[in-house]
Amino acid sequence: MTDFVFNRKTYKPGEPIFREGDIGKVMYYVKQGKVKIWRGTEANPNVLGYVEEGSISGEMAVIAGAPRMAHA
């Protein structure tokens, strides 16, 4: 069985949480605010959606053991 460790971190608006292609070693719980999920470049982002308060993000890369599929 895997033990879960929770670390609290605050991100500023626009600060990257993870980038497409990063190795997925952690998932994130959004306690406050919302997180934009997007692909492409910063100059031409393709917004896939938003992760709202009370939701998790980044779990698929952790579960699949694969690189991140988008930026957050």
DSSP assignment letter at 55: -
Whether 3 shows a pLDDT value over 80: the answer reads: no
Q: Can you give the pTM of this predicted structure?
A: 0.84
Rounded to an integer, the average pLDDT of 1-17 is 82
In this predicted model, what pLDDT tens digit does every residue of 27-39 receive, in sequence order? 999 999 999 999 9
Name the CA dihedral angle for 29, 70, 36, 65, rounded to a multiple of 10 degrees. 0
Q: CA-to-CA distance for 44 and 64, rounded, in angstroms?
A: 28
In this predicted model, what pLDDT tens digit does every residue of 56-68 receive, in sequence order? 999 999 999 999 9
**DSSP class per residue in 4-35:** P--------TT--S--TT-B----EE--SS-E
